[in-house]
Amino acid sequence: MTGLVRYRRMYTSSRFALLALSFLAAVALALPAAANASDAGLRATLAQWSQRIAVDAQGIGLSAARRHPRRMIRRARHFRLDALRARKGLAAVQASSARGRRAKRLALAAFYDYAIVGRQWALSGQARVRGLRVAAVGHARIAARYARRGSALLVAAKRLLG
Amino acid sequence: MNPRKLIITVATLALLGGAGVAGAFAGNSTSSPATTTATPTTTTCSDDQGEQAENDEQEAADEVENAATQVDQEAARAQADDQAGDDQGDNSQGDEQGDNQNCDD
């Protein structure tokens, strides 16, 4: 009698163990896929905003080269707004891996620097319109410094995301 | 086969199948990453749209640095601005539209 009870107990516990194992296996299979999905979303968002920023920057370079400071000011403001929007967009995407989280931090810092670049370009253009060449050069130099730093951060973020 | 074993096997397979479906949905969700965020509408200028650089970030970094160099050079230049060309831009529609046509400044 005792042997039969023991056998039933063993049988029940092994059944639960098997169920628990299969559940854990299912969770283990689902988790990496979800993690990849989240980092891929981050990568896609970063790429989209990078494209946009590239187009904006191209226009600013053209306006500067053609000596159209007013147009450059408008575009610089727009560039700044896009950089801020990019930050907002990236902040809304959740990174799932440690690399993804680090990449996100770098990308947010990059777009923050780009927002400063946009501001300094606009100030440079305003100074130029007013004929304040020294001030225009000063703002342009600050912008160039932040542009280098932001670009390095952006490329580093991309490298982390692979 | 013992019916209990059969039930356990079926349950295991169902769980694994569920995990697979969840994985597939997670994979699909990457195709629309910006549904909850503001999606940038990128306008490309040239007809090499198909040849969009794989490394958008590097391209953006290069463009920003080029623009910074241009702005710096032009700020330092004593040459007068192109008033006429610049004024044409002032009557234009607005930043959004103007910036979407960056190609021909």
Q: How many CB pairs under 8 A join A and B?
A: 247
Q: Has residue A18 got a pLDDT over 70?
A: no
Q: Which residue, among A114, A119, A102, A99, has the nearest Cα to A149 in the 3D structure?
A: A114
Residues B3-51 have pLDDT tens digits of 777 777 777 777 766 666 555 545 444 433 333 445 555 444 444 444 4
Per-residue pLDDT band for A7 (boundaries 50, 70, 90) equals confident
Residue B68 has pLDDT above 90, yes or no: yes
Please give the single-letter amino acid code of residue A86: A
String of DSSP letters for A141-159: HHHHHHHHHHHHHHHHHHH
Q: Which of B8, B35, B57, B69 to mutate to test the interface with A (most CBs of A within 10 A)?
A: B57
Residue A80 pLDDT exceeds 90: yes
Could you give the percent of chain B with pLDDT greater than 70? 39
Round to whole Å and give the CA distance between A102 and A96: 10
Q: What Rg do the C-alpha atoms of chain B give, in angstroms?
A: 27
Distances in Å between the Cα of A55 and the Cα atoms of A52, A130, A133, B10, B60 are 5, 27, 27, 55, 8
Q: Which amino acid is at B102?
A: N
Residue A30 pLDDT > 70: no
More confident residue, A32 or B92: A32
Q: A33-62, pLDDT tens digit by residue?
A: 555 568 899 999 999 999 999 999 999 999
Rounded distance between C-alpha atoms, residue A145 and residue A10, angstroms: 71
Per-residue pLDDT band for A119 (boundaries 50, 70, 90) equals very high
Question: Does the pLDDT of residue A100 top 50, yes or no?
Answer: yes
Distance from CA of B15 to the nearest CA of A (A): 6
Identify which of A27, A61, A150 has the shortest CB distance to residue B66. Answer: A61
The verdict on B12 touching A (C-beta cutoff 8 Å) is yes
Angle, helices A2-65 vs B3-29, to 10°: value is: 10
A31 or B7: which carries more pLDDT confidence?
Answer: B7
ipTM score of the complex? Answer: 0.76
Amino acid at A102: R
